[in-house]
């Protein structure tokens, strides 16, 4: 059983494979946290401590380890919920009512039922245990059973209590073209806040927390949680004066208010959380395995070719057919037409919203191109940006009230476009019908869904920040019911929509518009801590790179992109014979090993050298891969000893180093390791390792 209850003590113990999470109900009816850490088998070990005030300036409510603190009474700490009732009371006084356990297949869910002491306002705390993955999914649902509207001013999905001080907090920072840059900072007194206020994208921070006690990849305590939300989020990390560290995640209360109508229920986005004493590697494996088994669409992702760098907006049927033939020649399996195929789309200032095929570029529609692509045995994909409209577009001229706006203000344009108010029923229906018609009319296998600007003039309703992304989720979910074989890629001006809220609704993440192969090593490394490799699109593009101006050898560019789901974005019409042959060779190699990359376990290996090696390993059953990169050789030109991970100690493995084939035990490879050396700048290798099966 993953949920154990002591009814007399009113204590609840949540058990996963290696961990325990405990809380209980005290004599005041408060839900109080007791424990989160390595497994404790007996619920009888847990007691509800009696609380005493430190002083009148440190009241009991302030120091109580509440699972879900609310606004009101002598609470001055961060709260998860703030509401205003119809009589203007701005305080919640909850009382514990009951609990319920729901069992579905192997998953158990505990619901703690709370009710306001005076109003018909119900708060349910949900805990879903994924025992095999050592993960707990937490969320809260609110129900208004009164006859009046209740205004929700703040809702965070849960609070976590970590019984340590001086922890390390890590997340990512960045901006367009420089997303997913991992940082680590010491938690001290005061609050760390991460957030998004833009409505559309999360380039700057990502909705998760990692807190560790000087952990390494393979050792040390790590507490973590990822919010399932693609819009405005906030996270607060605080070391308290009472010897613990608190974390909250949820909807950003910036410019937020939700009117909960009589009889209405609201379910907040959930947090996928976990604990390990096995370092960052175990955290990564638990999250990746959960995503691969339960969230992501089954099957291997195809090798993609995208036309953007070759043509930009100058799309034409004949040119796309030329590109498709060359893409087929090098081994692509999916051909994607990017921006420029629709409306009067010759640049960024027109076309968005007018989703008809441009007759000058495609005189006979898309079918001649699609027919060619399909006859070559490739899948066909297309780029869209459904949330946006250009001021010059016919859609805007006919429906100027469909954008986010204030009647007395001039609406902002960014990248020459407005944001459509997707929370309006007619706008949501327009986007769904447009995409449904596109997918019904044409044999399309892949949608690249972009979103290139944040929301502004967000209307008088303060719930749109959340309801906008809910509407996007709904549209794609409905489309996938009707068109179940279509793959959807989440692109938001680069890597702006990477989170567990959109993962599974969309199938791929566009990781960044920065396709520089060296920069991507850092971006992909940071991404890997939380998110699965199978959803990470990575491209080979032309040099000099449009952002970095670097010139990097093609083999290094391919190897960097082969660490995820491979895509090619070069102008392949300009490829030399040497480029073509190398591309064929490396794409074919990727196809032979992608099952290990996309579905295997991922390891960030230690670099023991003074030289700047980046080393990664993938394991799947009896097969392993090593990716070794040396972007720049440092003075001394040292090699590196690579110690592998995740092998069977008593099994033997065969691997090829340069021209020499060696056989070593798993114990040797993991403890002694192999000596390896790359030379010069932008050198890289992929090394295959196979278990010898007797």
233 Rama sector, left if φ>0, alpha if ψ -120 to 50, beta otherwise: beta
Neighbours of 626 (CB within 10 A): 21
296-353: per-residue pLDDT in tens? Answer: 999 999 999 999 999 999 999 999 999 999 999 999 999 999 999 999 999 999 999 9
Hey, where are the domains in the chain?
A: 3-280, 304-601, 605-691
Counts of helices then strands in the chain (DSSP H, E): 12, 38
Q: Which of 215, 225, 226, 234 is nearest to 168 (CA)?
A: 215
Tokens standing for 485?
């074989």
At 618, phi and psi to the nearest 5? -125, 135
> Which residues lie below 8 Å from residue 590, measured CB to CB, with a gap of 6+?
303, 558, 562, 566, 597
Band (281; pLDDT cuts 50, 70, 90): very high
Q: Which of 500, 489, 497 is nearest to 449 (CA)?
A: 489
Question: Beta-strand (E) ranges in 417-573?
Answer: 418-419, 446-449, 487-490, 508-510, 536-540, 565-568
Q: Which CATH number fits domain 3-280: 2.70.98.60, 3.40.50.720, 3.30.2130.10, 3.40.50.2000?
A: 2.70.98.60
Question: b/e for 517-536, b at 16 or more Cβ within 10 A?
Answer: bbbbbbbbbbbbbbbbbbbb
CA distance 487 to 57: 57
CA distance 620 to 618: 7
CA distance 180 to 10: 43
CA distance 439 to 137: 34
For tokens 């992702």, name the residue.
301
CA distance 185 to 205: 14
Predicted local confidence at residue 53, as pLDDT: 78
Predicted local confidence at residue 508, as pLDDT: 96
CA distance 204 to 179: 7
Q: Which of 413, 396, 316 is nearest to 355 (CA)?
A: 396
CA distance 442 to 404: 31
Predicted local confidence at residue 635, as pLDDT: 83
How far is residue 283 from each of residues 184, 212, 236, 528, 537, measured CA to CA in Å? 16, 11, 21, 11, 22
Tokens standing for 99?
């609990």
481-524: per-residue pLDDT in tens? Answer: 999 999 999 999 999 999 999 999 999 999 999 999 999 999 99
pLDDT over 90 (residue 455) = yes
Predicted local confidence at residue 50, as pLDDT: 87
Predicted local confidence at residue 34, as pLDDT: 98
Average pLDDT over residues 374-388: 98
> Which residues lie below 8 Å from residue 62, measured CB to CB, with a gap of 6+?
74, 75, 76, 77
Which of 219-228, 391-400, 453-462, 624-633 bottoms out in mean pLDDT, i.e. has the lowest?
453-462
Residue 420, CB-side half-sphere exposure with 13 Å CA sphere: 27
> Which residues lie below 8 Å from residue 144, measured CB to CB, with a gap of 6+?
120, 121, 122, 150, 260, 261, 262, 263, 264, 265
Question: b/e for 82-116, b at 16 or more Cβ within 10 A?
Answer: bbbbeeeeeebebebeebeeeeeeeebbbebebbb
Give the chain's radius of gyration (CA, Å): 27
Q: What is the DSSP letter of 293?
A: I
CA distance 517 to 290: 28
How far is residue 416 from each of residues 387, 453, 577, 628, measured CA to CA in Å? 13, 9, 40, 42
3-state secondary structure of 4: strand
Cα 508 to its chain centre, rounded Å, is 10
- The CATH class, in words, for 605-691 is mainly beta
Q: Which of 334, 332, 335, 354 is nearest to 343 (CA)?
A: 354
CA distance 122 to 583: 60
pLDDT over 90 (residue 558) = yes
pLDDT over 80 (residue 531) = yes
Long-range (24+ apart) CB contacts under 8 A made by 92-96 are 92/116, 92/121, 92/123, 93/117, 93/118, 94/29, 94/70, 94/123, 95/29, 96/10, 96/25, 96/29, 96/30, 96/31
25-63: per-residue pLDDT in tens? Answer: 998 899 999 999 999 999 999 999 988 777 888 888 888
235-275: per-residue pLDDT in tens? Answer: 999 999 999 999 999 999 999 999 999 999 999 999 999 99
Cβ pair 689, 623 in contact under 8 A: yes
Q: Are strands 536-540 and 508-510 parallel, antiparallel or unpaired?
A: parallel
DSSP readout, 355-390?
-SB-TTT-TT-SHHHHHHHHHTT-EEEEEE-TTEE-
Predicted local confidence at residue 365, as pLDDT: 96
| SS3 annotation, 558-619 | HHHHCCCEEEECCCHHHCCHHHHHHHHHHHHHHHHHHHHHHHCEEEECCCCCCCCCEEEEEE
CA distance 438 to 419: 21
Cα-Cα end-to-end distance for the chain: 38
Cβ pair 71, 89 in contact under 8 A: no
pLDDT over 80 (residue 1) = no
3-state secondary structure of 473: helix
How high is the mean pLDDT of the chain? 96
Predicted local confidence at residue 2, as pLDDT: 94
Cis peptide before 544 (omega within 30 of 0): yes
Q: Which CATH number fits domain 304-601: 2.60.120.620, 3.20.20.70, 3.40.50.720, 3.40.50.2300?
A: 3.20.20.70
Question: b/e for 575-586, b at 16 or more Cβ within 10 A?
Answer: beeeeeebbeeb
CA distance 306 to 311: 10
643-670: per-residue pLDDT in tens? Answer: 999 999 999 999 988 788 999 999 999 9
Band (288; pLDDT cuts 50, 70, 90): very high
């Amino acid at each position: 059983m993953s949920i154990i209850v002591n009814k007399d003590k009113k204590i609840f113990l949540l058990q996963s494979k290696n961990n325990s999470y405990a809380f209980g109900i005290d004599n005041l009816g408060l839900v109080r946290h007791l424990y989160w850490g390595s497994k404790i088998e007996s619920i009888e070990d847990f007691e509800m401590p009696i609380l005493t005030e430190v002083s009148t300036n440190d009241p009991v409510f302030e120091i109580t380890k509440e699972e879900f603190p609310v606004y009101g009474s002598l609470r001055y700490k961060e709260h998860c919920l703030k509401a205003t009732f119809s009589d203007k009371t701005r305080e919640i006084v909850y009382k514990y009512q009951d609990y319920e356990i729901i069992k579905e297949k192997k998953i158990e869910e505990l619901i703690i039922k709370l009710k306001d002491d005076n109003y018909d306002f119900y708060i349910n705390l949900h805990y879903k245990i994924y025992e095999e993955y050592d993960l707990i999914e937490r969320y809260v649902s609110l129900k208004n059973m009164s006859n009046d509207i209740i205004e929700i001013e703040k809702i965070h999905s849960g609070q976590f209590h970590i019984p340590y001080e001086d922890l390390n907090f890590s997340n990512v920072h960045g901006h367009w073209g420089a997303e997913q840059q991992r940082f680590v900072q010491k938690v001290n007194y005061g609050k760390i806040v991460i957030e998004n206020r833009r409505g559309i994208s999360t380039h700057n921070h990502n909705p998760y927390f990692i807190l560790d006690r000087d952990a390494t990849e393979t050792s040390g305590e790590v507490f973590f949680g990822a919010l399932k939300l693609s819009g405005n989020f906030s996270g607060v990390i605080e070391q308290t004066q009472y010897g613990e560290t608190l974390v909250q995640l949820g909807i950003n209360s910036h410019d937020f208010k939700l009117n909960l109508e009589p009889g209405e229920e609201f379910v907040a986005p959930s947090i996928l959380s976990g604990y390990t004493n096995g370092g960052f590697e175990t955290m990564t494996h638990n999250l990746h395995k959960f995503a691969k088994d339960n969230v992501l669409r089954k099957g291997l992702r195809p090798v993609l070719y995208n036309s953007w760098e070759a043509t930009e907006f100058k799309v034409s049927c004949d040119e796309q057919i030329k590109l498709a033939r060359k893409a087929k020649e090098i081994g692509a399996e999916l051909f994607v037409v990017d921006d420029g195929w629709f409306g009067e789309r010759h640049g960024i200032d027109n076309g968005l919203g007018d989703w008809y095929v441009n007759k000058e570029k495609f005189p006979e529609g898309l079918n001649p191109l699609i027919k060619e692509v399909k006859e070559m045995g490739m899948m066909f994909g297309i780029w869209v940006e459904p949330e946006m409209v250009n001021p010059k577009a016919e859609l805007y001229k006919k429906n100027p009230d469909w954008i986010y706006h204030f009647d007395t203000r001039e609406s902002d344009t960014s990248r020459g476009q407005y944001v459509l108010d997707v929370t309006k029923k007619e706008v949501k229906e327009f986007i769904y019908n447009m995409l449904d018609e596109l997918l019904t009319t044409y044999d399309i296998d892949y949608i690249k869904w972009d979103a290139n600007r944040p929301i502004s003039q967000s209307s008088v309703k303060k719930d749109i920040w959340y309801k906008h992304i809910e509407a996007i989720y709904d549209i794609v979910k409905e489309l996938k019911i009707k068109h179940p074989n279509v793959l959807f890629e989440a692109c938001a001006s680069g890597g702006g929509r990477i989170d567990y809220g959109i993962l599974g609704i969309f199938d791929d993440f566009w990781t960044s518009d920065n396709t520089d192969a060296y920069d991507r090593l850092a971006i992909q490394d940071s991404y890997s801590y939380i998110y699965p490799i199978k959803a990470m699109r990575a491209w080979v593009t032309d040099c000099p790179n449009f952002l970095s101006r670097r010139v990097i050898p093609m083999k290094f560019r391919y190897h960097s992109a082969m660490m995820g789901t491979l895509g090619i974005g070069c102008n392949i019409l300009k490829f030399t014979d040497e480029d073509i042959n190398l591309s064929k060779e490396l794409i074919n190699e990727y196809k032979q090993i992608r099952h290990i990359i996309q579905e295997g376990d991922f390891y960030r290996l230690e670099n023991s050298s003074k030289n700047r090696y980046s080393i990664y390993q993938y394991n799947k059953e009896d097969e392993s891969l090593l990716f070794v990169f040396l972007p720049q050789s440092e003075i001394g030109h040292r090699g590196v000893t690579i110690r592998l991970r995740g092998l069977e100690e008593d099994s033997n493995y065969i691997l090829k180093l340069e021209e020499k084939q060696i056989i070593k035990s798993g114990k040797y490879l993991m403890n002694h390791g192999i000596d390896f050396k790359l030379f010069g700048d932008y050198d890289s290798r992929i090394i295959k390792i196979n278990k010898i099966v007797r």
